[in-house]
Structure 1
Amino acid sequence: MRQAIVTLKKGEGRLLKSGGAWIFDNEIDSIMGEFENGDIVIVHDFDGYGMGRGFINMNSKIRIRMMTRKQDQEIDHAFLEMRVRDAWEYRKKTVDTSSCRVIFGEADFLPGLVIDKFSDVLVVESLALGIDRMKEEIVDILKAVLSEDGITIRGVYERSDAKVRQNEGMERVKGFIGEEFDTKVEIVENGVRYMVDVKDGQKTGFFLDQKYNRLAIQRLCKDAEVLDCFTHTGSFALNAGIAGAKHVTGVDASELGIEQARENARLNGLEDRVEFVCADVFDLLPKLEEEGKQYDVVILDPPAFTKSRKTIKNATKGYREINMRGMKLVKPGGYLATCSCSHFMDYELFTKTIHQAAQNVHKRVRQVEYRTQAPDHPILWSAEESYYLKFYVFQIVDEK
């Protein structure tokens, strides 16, 4: 049996020692023994102290992703079952599990793996070579664990088509794991019905991380005129509609997203009050401002403007501009909900950028609340990449 021991350089492994799961290529002093990419290796500190076990990939700058801090822990079926059970038990205590993220990578100590549950369908995203070898076994374990709670999974679809797989020397793949099935799935969240397209929708088909943020805007939207920017498949717009908004306009640049949003509006009987427009938000908002449009609630839920540190400067400009435009369209005394889903746009920078936007357009803002991602996307304090969603609600104050 192949077994390799990886020894860190003296003074390296700071992320690992603070509770993180990654060891980078430049932190390794030596590798003794035989291994293939994707194998589990034993990790030692420079002085031989055992740091645990993880899987190695020489193609990736993240050279090792840790699976356990225990050096004598076998990464076997029993270990994977323990991880899956822990993840599911946590969800049962913290979220509505009818549709939720069941496995969230490093934050659930299964690095590189995401599994979302949409009603009776699972969607799998595998982003690292070592976990890719284990994904089907983990899926089988999860189906067995769910069945103990009377949940039958009718199908599993893989959406491992993200570009980052190429950093691991892996091809981008999507398709069925097991039997084929109808990939359009109806779910209910916060009382709103959606058709989720797990095959062709963005990411795994639907953004579950905003579940309770969508619920939080409901109370602001009763009898309101609402503008929902970057609506995707209409989730914030439909929460506003079901809460009793007078009228909602949802905007997105994707024709497919807008068609799905209209279908979702019909599904909820809201097509008379919730309309959707296919347009570039950056182009549309100045036009609405020129027309003198004003809304009681404006919602900004843009895609990540940056996925690396290199482009953070341009991303900051984008967030500042969109928030300036959004604030101008809010009636005095109305509300702005604004968020960023980019991990690299951290809390401090996002907060500073909104503050600058308010100053630039001479708006006084009063913070209603600050929120992050739903608890089924847990934030592991030692894994900063797990904290990515920032969500603010402000009132645009009209001093009388």
Structure 2
Amino acid sequence: MAQLILMPGKERSAFKRHPWLFAGSVGRLEGRARPGDTVEVLADNLRPLGRAAYSPKSQIRARFWTFDAEESVDDGFFKRRVAAAVARRQALPELRGQEGLRLIHAESDGLPGVIADQYGDTVVIQLTSAGADKWRKAIVAALVQATGCQRIYERSDSDVRGLEGLESATGWLLGEARDEPLSILENGVRLAVDVAGGHKTGFYLDQRDNRQLLGQLSAGKDVLNCFCYTGGFSLQALAGGANSVLSIDSSGPALVQARANLALNPQLPAERAQWQEADVFQALRDFRKEGKLFDVIVLDPPKFAPSASHADRAARAYKDINILGCRLLKPGGLLMTYSCSGGIGLELFQKIIAAAALDAGREARIVRRLAGSADHPVALNFSEGEYLKGLLVQVD
């Protein structure tokens, strides 16, 4: 096994069990290692620090599999890690019986670069690192053993694979597509899942609890759902008794699926739903000119800042959209606003929303801080895993 020897003083992050080693921390590689190979990580004084997956083309030069220098990284390792991740979900009452569930949340479950989401009897995996890619077969076998799933689909098509020197990889690894469309029941609402063409692994499971919260807040309210995608928030608002729900997205195909999702739920009042294909920023400016006001507004935009280097530009976009949101709320209205950008931390996000309310000329207060569902845990040694952050703000 090749040895990755760090620069002096660069072992501190490993002592804190942070799973990433950046290129600037690496002194030298002794021996030969191909992308994804497991290497021994040593401090500059040759003290063993653990074993990691080597990625020569990435700025994250290695990702720790284990901080135990004696632990073997083999098929048995992945069986243990996958089984432990599944068991952690089964131990939480709120996650039992969920048809849509994140089984593995990458670094936060001790499996860097590995995402696995379950939709009924189908599991979708996304492998975003060289190490995860190398151990594909072992990961698939471990998932089958831990879940008994009948179908596994790979959606390793995210942009971050390019940073690892990896090409996209998609397709069925186990079984094949079902004759009937795949769907899940989430808090009483049925939602279709497109594992091959949908965002991420087919759906945004991380917002499950927040969608349920919107339903609880929507009775008798006029709701505006911006960046609605396939209507998850919208349908929960209808289920919660909203007086009206206006949903906006720039994607026509997403809105087609949103309408189809509504049709899957004949118990919901379809006449209270409106769907609008438009640029959200422009649509909100038009509503302002028209004098439209809402009781509840959801702002769940796409990732504006994929990394910290994009934070300044993203901050302006977040501020702009939240100014518009604040101005369109009735007095006492509620703003559910989110950022899924890893480059925007929670503290900065709160400052952006505070500045937006100030520029909108509105008084506002945080009612609740919002985050991902319990199946998207954040390891205490890996704050980067807290990518989804949100605020429920009451605006006077």
TM-score band, normalised by shorter chain: over 0.9
Name the counterpart of 2:114.
Answer: 113
Name the counterpart of 2:128.
Answer: 127
TM-score, normalised to structure 2's length? 0.96
After superposition, what is the alpha-carbon deviation per residue over 1:84-110, rounded to whole angstroms, capped at 9, x for unaligned?
Answer: 111001111232442111011111111
Whether contact under 8 Å (1:4, 1:35) holds in the other structure is yes
Does residue 233 of structure 1 match 2:235? no
Does residue 185 of structure 1 match 2:182? yes
Q: Which whole-Å CA distance do the structure 2 matches of 1:195 and 1:286 have between them? A: 32
RMSD of Structure 2 on Structure 1 (CA): 1.3
Q: Which whole-Å CA distance do the structure 2 matches of 1:303 and 1:294 have between them? A: 24
Whether contact under 8 Å (1:13, 1:23) holds in the other structure is no
After superposition, what is the alpha-carbon deviation per residue over 1:46-74, rounded to whole angstroms, capped at 9, x for unaligned?
Answer: 11211010111211111111100111101
Name the counterpart of 2:155.
Answer: 159
Name the counterpart of 1:216.
Answer: 213
Cα distance, 1:30 vs. partner? 2.2
Name the counterpart of 2:53.
Answer: 55
Name the counterpart of 1:30.
Answer: 28
Name the counterpart of 1:9.
Answer: 7
Aligned residues with identical type, % of pairs: 36
Name the counterpart of 2:272.
Answer: 273
Q: Which whole-Å CA distance do the structure 1 matches of 2:77 and 2:174 have between them? A: 23
After superposition, what is the alpha-carbon deviation per residue over 1:284-328, rounded to whole angstroms, capped at 9, x for unaligned?
Answer: 001111111111111111111111222211111110011110111
Name the counterpart of 1:175.
Answer: 171
More moved, 345-354 vs 381-390: 381-390
Whether contact under 8 Å (1:59, 1:167) holds in the other structure is yes
Cα distance, 1:378 vs. partner? 0.7
Q: Which whole-Å CA distance do the structure 2 matches of 1:15 and 1:117 have between them? A: 33
Paired residue secondary structure (1:197): coil
Whether contact under 8 Å (1:45, 1:51) holds in the other structure is yes
The aligned amino acid for 1:45 is A
Q: Which whole-Å CA distance do the structure 2 matches of 1:205 and 1:98 have between them? A: 13
Cα distance, 1:361 vs. partner? 1.1
After superposition, what is the alpha-carbon deviation per residue over 1:145-164, rounded to whole angstroms, capped at 9, x for unaligned?
Answer: 113xxxxx232111111111
The aligned amino acid for 1:31 is L
Q: Which whole-Å CA distance do the structure 2 matches of 1:332 and 1:297 have between them? A: 11
Task: Give every structure 1 segment of 4 or more consecutive aligned residues whose post-TM-superposition deviation is greater than 3 Å.
Answer: none
After superposition, what is the alpha-carbon deviation per residue over 1:366-385, rounded to whole angstroms, capped at 9, x for unaligned?
Answer: 22111211111111122122
Does residue 303 of structure 1 match 2:298? no
Q: Which whole-Å CA distance do the structure 2 matches of 1:134 and 1:62 have between them? A: 18
Q: Which whole-Å CA distance do the structure 1 matches of 2:337 and 2:215 have between them? A: 15
Name the counterpart of 1:150.
Answer: none
The aligned amino acid for 2:216 is R
Paired residue secondary structure (1:184): coil
Q: Which whole-Å CA distance do the structure 2 matches of 1:349 and 1:245 have between them? A: 32
Q: Which whole-Å CA distance do the structure 2 matches of 1:166 and 1:101 have between them? A: 24
- Structure 2 stretches of 5 or more lacking a match? none
After superposition, what is the alpha-carbon deviation per residue over 1:176-221, rounded to whole angstroms, capped at 9, x for unaligned?
Answer: 1133213831101111110111111111110000111111122210
Q: Which whole-Å CA distance do the structure 2 matches of 1:220 and 1:265 have between them? A: 19
Name the counterpart of 2:384.
Answer: 385
Q: Which whole-Å CA distance do the structure 2 matches of 1:297 and 1:101 have between them? A: 28
Q: Which whole-Å CA distance do the structure 2 matches of 1:384 and 1:366 have between them? A: 25
The aligned amino acid for 1:298 is I
Instruction: Write out aligned runs for 1:328-343 (5 A).
Output: 328-343=327-342
Does residue 347 of structure 1 match 2:346? yes
Q: Which whole-Å CA distance do the structure 1 matches of 2:363 and 2:33 have between them? A: 60
The aligned amino acid for 1:117 is Q
Q: Which whole-Å CA distance do the structure 2 matches of 1:27 and 1:111 have between them? A: 18
Name the counterpart of 1:79.
Answer: 77
Name the counterpart of 1:256.
Answer: 253
Whether contact under 8 Å (1:184, 1:198) holds in the other structure is no
Q: Which whole-Å CA distance do the structure 2 matches of 1:11 and 1:285 have between them? A: 51
Number of residue pairs matched? 390
Paired residue secondary structure (1:111): coil
Cα distance, 1:15 vs. partner? 2.8
Cα distance, 1:175 vs. partner? 1.3
Q: Which whole-Å CA distance do the structure 1 matches of 2:263 and 2:60 have between them? A: 46
More moved, 24-33 vs 297-306: 24-33
After superposition, what is the alpha-carbon deviation per residue over 1:312-351, rounded to whole angstroms, capped at 9, x for unaligned?
Answer: 1111111001111011111111211111111111011100
Paired residue secondary structure (1:176): strand
Paired residue secondary structure (2:313): helix
Whether contact under 8 Å (2:17, 2:67) holds in the other structure is no
Q: Which whole-Å CA distance do the structure 2 matches of 1:58 and 1:69 have between them? A: 20
Whether contact under 8 Å (2:150, 2:174) holds in the other structure is no
Q: Which whole-Å CA distance do the structure 2 matches of 1:396 and 1:36 have between them? A: 55
After superposition, what is the alpha-carbon deviation per residue over 1:105-124, rounded to whole angstroms, capped at 9, x for unaligned?
Answer: 11111111101111111111
More moved, 21-30 vs 350-359: 21-30
TM-score, normalised to structure 1's length? 0.95
Q: Which whole-Å CA distance do the structure 2 matches of 1:57 and 1:315 have between them? A: 29
- Structure 1 stretches of 5 or more lacking a match? 148-152
Q: 2:91 aligns with which of 67, 90, 93?
A: 93
Are the structure 2 counterparts of residues 13 and 255 from structure 1 closer, same or farther at C-alpha, using a change threshold of 3 Å? Answer: farther
Q: Which whole-Å CA distance do the structure 1 matches of 2:146 and 2:363 have between them? A: 51
Q: Which whole-Å CA distance do the structure 1 matches of 2:303 and 2:32 have between them? A: 40
Whether contact under 8 Å (2:308, 2:342) holds in the other structure is no
